[in-house]
Structure 1
């Protein structure tokens, strides 16, 4: 697998664009479009919040029932959530406008929104943007970056990843972009993710691997414990690499799985590391658990602990907060067996052995915790399973950003 520069335009046959449609009432880009020259098989996973946005309802139906998709249109600034029938009608109107602009079926159009909940989409601006976006479509890295910037809300950087692999002698590319910085919690978050690939793959195989990978990537990140209304991961495969079709039983299934896993994992980490107001990515590894689910529950409990996140911000090796978070997680645990380490580019330090503090150096611990990223490792010594979760530190700026989000 080769890591390359790029995002949604890296794969053959995909174009993208981003522009300012005036939705945010400022100069920032707020609409994006992704388009494939050829129809795509699609896969998707969506928010588990029972309060879900109109675009989530629309996309679920397209992924489940449409034979293919060919375009995605995204806006930032307004979430189109809690908007009733008017919100549903807005999705249909967007699909119709894209259909007319690109000459694709309405059933081949996916839509997504992110931003303030409860506000109706300004459809005059949305439709004007949809008419303009096709004129700006392009397949360069720059075009992909414009799209990645247009879907940002409180993100501080655009988020893109791309890789290439060999499948049956053909070069296959997988690239993606995402957004997300707040209202981020396991079971997905206020995050949108769009992945494109020129692989030739069966829809059921793509859906199966997407669901499994999201479980170990996007569902293992947390910034603030809030699960959003708009979470969406969409994967589009147009088959233009002309490889032998990948099925669940083919020898190339795992090769493509690993590439998609890498892209989704790295995008997940980019979201966690860009958490609102954060200063560092906080990674939690749980080792030697008795079961995978036990490891995941423990890792997520640590990474979501506000007290632990605050200690990371303060570069304080307050290991008791980690052990406490493990204890209230609900997972089986034998505290007297647990070892805890902190690790970063400054080194690795065991701070707890068999549930008790080691004679560690506070100065060295502070040095390790002053770097970015910071890794906490909890060895529970109960088996051979492991899991990793990602989050960030909790800072003063998180409150400042969210206290006046709508203004």
Structure 2
């Protein structure tokens, strides 16, 4: 079938993106779903820094590629051997398809699924190969098994989670990355407990979701750090107990003064090494620093092992919030529907597909939290 999609042909185009137009809206060919796959009509897709990191080259991927990994839609066709979902079901995408066969998947670490990671790194679907082609019948790569910046997409059945059909699609899309990654890092990776103190550095959609998650988990003090004053103001509006401009020379000391020596758990979502170093240094003795940021693979962090040992510190990564998507996405949606997780407050802009480059310029400039393309 013919569909309209946002295609990235080359990374690293200069800003502003409103002039360089890194994403080109094209008509491409989408093949029918194969065994174990489904065709989904995209209803809403979020603009995430992980997409931006592909556009600017900080997270290299194969091109051409249809971007977009945070999305929601409606199932419109089933491939062979798909029997546990039906046409008409509403779904949220998981940007890591979990095979349920590799060792991590079978031992309680689905976020480390080896086959899903291999497929994503190749720009293919979990079952192998690609379903997208341009007009010259040349293959186009998939982004994270989703490619949500398109009217329709074909994905592995293991890339979608069935959701409550009463949830609006623009809200549902947020659960595919921002909510799953941010809240998952809090409750699954760090296991924040009642009364613990928390620092969150880097206030994009994931950082703000983590803020809501830390408050819901019962953290006694949640401190937010960023270099953008508007985001610090927004954090206070959403319930942060204190904010810190992390660009200030005494920012670490400010956090230690607020907490009597440093936070119990520090989270870094900025995807920048200085932000991770700041967060680590602001974490107290015996504390845990969790990062879900993704700087360029060439970037390295300086770390004194003696401090790690003598202070019994933990430095830990978190991917997809250490989530089991089929378990956690419906649970987080239920918390939202009960009023305990107001993730709708993260949405700042709604766009048409044709406005996507404008949206990414806004995101790169720090002028948005979550922007949603609706179809």
Work out which of the two has the higher radius of gyration on C-alpha atoms and give 1 or 2: 1
TM-score, normalized by the shorter chain, greater than 0.5: no
Q: What is the TM-score with the length of structure 2 in the denominator?
A: 0.27
